[in-house]
């Protein structure tokens, strides 16, 4: 099975306090309308952190500071294996603009489960919840 390596930004209001996180709804493909953390594929010549900065600039027209790795999610979809490094991030320049996603929300600890997450992202939600205040 083919492995797809991606990075995901768990953008929070503050890396130190983590009161809310930013999630987006996919605007395309088989999982259109389901919720995820923004990010994308890592190119050959870049680190995971560099890929994340590039992807967030492309998808949200925003610069982020990449913080700690939260977890690497390994998940088997029907046609590929996903290896997803998930990092805490914080906006350092610009405003979040949806260039690819169809919707977005800031979610608090109490509203994390108010959206329909992609299957791979479900594995991360409880870990994120424990680190939020």
Domains and CATH numbers, the chain: 3-131 (3.90.79.10)
Cα maximum dimension of the chain: 39
pLDDT-flagged residues of the chain (< 70): none
Distance CA 90, CA 128 (A): 15
Residue 102 neighbours by CB distance under 10 Å: 12
Quote the percentage of the chain above a pLDDT of 70. Answer: 100
Residue 52: the pLDDT is: 97
Question: pTM above the 0.85 mark?
Answer: yes
């Amino acid at each position: 099975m083919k492995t797809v390596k991606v990075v995901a930004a768990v953008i929070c209001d503050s890396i130190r306090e983590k009161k809310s996180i930013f999630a987006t709804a996919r605007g395309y493909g088989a999982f259109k309308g389901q919720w995820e953390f923004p990010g994308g594929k890592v190119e050959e010549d870049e680190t995971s952190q560099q890929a994340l900065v590039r992807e967030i600039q492309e998808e949200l027209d925003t610069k982020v500071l990449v913080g700690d790795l939260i977890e690497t999610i390994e998940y088997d979809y029907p046609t590929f294996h996903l290896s997803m490094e998930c990092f805490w991030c914080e906006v350092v320049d610009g405003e979040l603009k949806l260039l690819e996603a169809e919707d977005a929300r800031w979610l608090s600890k109490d509203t994390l489960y108010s959206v329909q997450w992609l299957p791979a992202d479900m594995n991360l939600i409880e870990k994120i919840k424990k680190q939020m205040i």
